[in-house]
Amino acid sequence: MAMLSNLGSYKSTGLLIMRLGLGIMFIYHGYPKLLGGPNEWSKIGSATKYAGIHFYPAFWGFMAACTETFGGFLLVIGLAFRPVCLLLAIELTIAALMHLGTGGGLMDASHAIEDAVVFAGLLFVGPGRFSVDKK
């Protein structure tokens, strides 16, 4: 379609839209976890056992909540973009392993898998021109 053929010149705008949408949603999901305290962090961090990590679940849960909350903010502004994408891809891989490990199946794990794939792809693409990193 001729109407859509010029959209390729707006790649940075597309990356901005993705960064804003994903970042805001990760802040929305991460902030309540961050405020949940040690009991909530232990519940979240216990998912690491499906990746073979059986120690300090409260620490890992706190780190996951921080990754979602502050990583979401960094996504929005486009700062430390690639390290944040890597951390979020790792976190979402563990979330997918948890869903699969608890017998939830592929349908339960699909959202985490999809987001992990998106962040893995964004790791290579970069934040775009409209970011603090400007790459």
Q: What is the pLDDT of residues 119-130, one digit of tens each?
A: 999 999 999 999
pLDDT per residue over 53-95, tens digit each? 999 999 999 999 999 999 999 999 999 999 999 999 999 999 9
CB 50 within 8 Å of CB 101: yes
Total structural domains within the chain: 1
Task: Look at the block and give the residue holding tokens 């990760």.
Answer: 26
What's the CA gap between 80 and 15, in Å, rounded? 15
Please report, as a single letter, which amino acid is at residue 129.
R
CA distances to 23, 78, 87, 103 from 15, in Å: 12, 10, 18, 35
CB-count burial class (<10 Å; 0-12, 13-18, 19+) for 52: exposed
Give domain status of residue 18, yes or no.
yes
Percent pLDDT > 70 in the chain is 99
Give domain status of residue 119, yes or no.
yes
Give domain status of residue 1, yes or no.
no
What's the CA gap between 30 and 66, in Å, rounded? 7
What's the CA gap between 121 and 112, in Å, rounded? 14
Give domain status of residue 5, yes or no.
no
pTM of the entire predicted model: 0.94
Give domain status of residue 134, yes or no.
no
CB 107 within 8 Å of CB 96: no
Give domain status of residue 132, yes or no.
no
Give domain status of residue 6, yes or no.
no
Give domain status of residue 2, yes or no.
no
Q: Which domain holds residue 39?
A: 12-125
